[in-house]
A and B are shown apart, each in its own frame.
Chain A
Amino acid sequence: MSLAQVDSFAAEWSEALAAEAECTPEAESESPADLALIDEPIGAEQPDELTQIRAWVAKAAEVCESASAGDLEARLLQIDAEPDLARLLHGINHLLDMTDAFVRESTATLSYAAQGKFFRRVLLNGMLGSFRQAATKINETTAQMKLRTDELKLAEQRRAQLADEFQAVVSTIDGLVAATQQISDFSGVIRGITAQTNILAINASIEAARVGEAGRGFAVVATEVKRLAAQTAQANRDIQTQLAAIQNATALTAKSIIEIRDTLRETEKSAT
């Protein structure tokens, strides 16, 4: 039945009803609203066909209005209208069933995706036309979300690996710091020996002078020893300066690497 047909049909019936109302005033007591109650099967009191149609139309309007307001629960029950009207009423139920199914499916799928559960997909069976297009789009989107989430997880793993590698570098630098400290300690020992050698050389010079001519050769040796001690002291000071520079550079490097490592670890924590 086309819409135009429905219109003319309704017009005919409303005329007929008006005519009938004039003849039978009791008809008012059987208002469509009373008959629309689901619990009382329509037709129980054998109302005429028009009254029955009006009751069903009123009930259908109620269901459509509540559905438009977002309540998808109402349905038309125990449909006993004439075939064309019954088809319309079943059609309303079917439309509501499809809408209800789509809303429930898409809500559930997106709620799962929000929790990182991407295995949940909208089941496409029974979803036709625009419903299926939208459902397919949702499924594609959650699949993309899964892809991005997996990529993020991989990036996280790489970041964690990098943090571990930086930790290894920190350990190596700690070894370097310890080694330079040892060199510094040895250098201290050398400084002590040089000072002693210098004193020994001075003492040797004094002793050489005391024995006069016989000690002249020894005095030359003592002078050479003193010169060597002075050279060693200078070399040792150079080593100390270089060592200090190495230690400074190492400390700065260690500080930077520890900062990088800690940043990586913080990112890791905030990501999990």
Chain B
Amino acid sequence: MPGMTTTSRFSGSAASGVRSLTSGGVERTFGAEEIIVSKTDPKGRITYANDVFLRVAEYQEHEVLGKPHNLIRHPDMPRCVFKFMWDTIQAGHEIFAYVVNQSKNGNYYWVLAHVTPTFDTHGSIIGYHSNRRSPKAAAVAQIKPVYALLRQIEQGHRTPRDAWQASLPALVQYLADRGISYEEFVFSLADPPESAGRSNPAKAGEVVACR
């Protein structure tokens, strides 16, 4: 994968300066063909969680229904990623993100989350839907130092708002350095170019930012 290994800023200092991500608990995994599904109301309160969600997050259904989705937020997740996700879905767009979540018992699990707004027939957002898939180990390995650096920037800021305001420019800069959009970046991790077959000439990272 081009890019991630080239900047000393993200790959070097982050690895040495910050404690490794997900230091506490045990990693929980789920099947490659399983999808963790949840739905929330427009305020982010859980209205549905499928059985894979409950199993992996170690919750009972009644413990999550009506609760805010940040119930499973892991302290190692940079605030700015959630800020970015929230802004994107509130604007009516979908978003993909690599996320580490925390289970009820303090264990953790990595997901490739796909969050989409749900619209009524008039086009108003009536809730959000999230499908989470088991990410490739290589993708998690690449996102970890990025998140570690963003967390390092966020440390020492007292409110979540101060935290993301400090780290969001770093995320924007990281993408600008690579000349790709956030969505292309996430997709480049999800589907490395070398795995693209002959029938699919599209290469991640090759696409020019679109109008």
Given the known interface contacts A104-B116, A143-B200, the answer about A77 and B133 at a Cβ–Cβ threshold of 8 Å is no
Chain B residues closer than 8 Å to A41, beta-carbon distance: 62
User: Of residues 62 to 114 in A, which have CB atoms within 8 Å of B's CB atoms?
Assistant: 73, 75, 77-78, 90, 93-94, 97-98, 100-101, 104-105, 108
Nearest residue, chain B, Cβ from A145: B202
How many residue pairs bridge A and B at CB < 8 Å?
A: 83
B45 adjacent to chain A (CB < 8 Å) = no
**Among all A-B residue pairs, the 5 with the closest Cβ atoms:** A126-B35, A143-B200, A125-B133, A97-B37, A75-B48
A101 x B118 contact (CB < 8 A): no
A140 adjacent to chain B (CB < 8 Å) = yes
Residues of B that sit less than 8 Å from A by CB: 32-35, 37, 39, 48, 50-51, 61-62, 65, 94, 112, 114, 116, 118, 126-127, 129, 131, 133-134, 183-184, 187-188, 190-191, 199-202, 204, 207, 210-211
13 cross-chain CB contacts under 8 A: A41-B62, A73-B118, A73-B126, A75-B39, A78-B65, A108-B94, A118-B202, A119-B204, A121-B187, A121-B191, A125-B133, A126-B34, A150-B201
Residues of A that sit less than 8 Å from B by CB: 41, 73, 75, 77-78, 90, 93-94, 97-98, 100-101, 104-105, 108, 115-121, 123, 125-126, 128, 139-140, 142-143, 146-147, 150
Chain B residues closer than 8 Å to A98, beta-carbon distance: 35
Report the bound CA distance from A119 to B134 in whole Å: 20
Return the contact of B131 from the options A101, A117, A147 (Cβ within 8 A): A101
Report the bound CA distance from A64 to B201 in whole Å: 41
Chain A residues closer than 8 Å to B116, beta-carbon distance: 104, 108
Nearest residue, chain B, Cβ from A38: B65
Report the bound CA distance from A139 to B183 in whole Å: 17
B114 x A97 contact (CB < 8 A): no
Nearest residue, chain A, Cβ from B62: A78
Chain A residues closer than 8 Å to B207, beta-carbon distance: 117-119
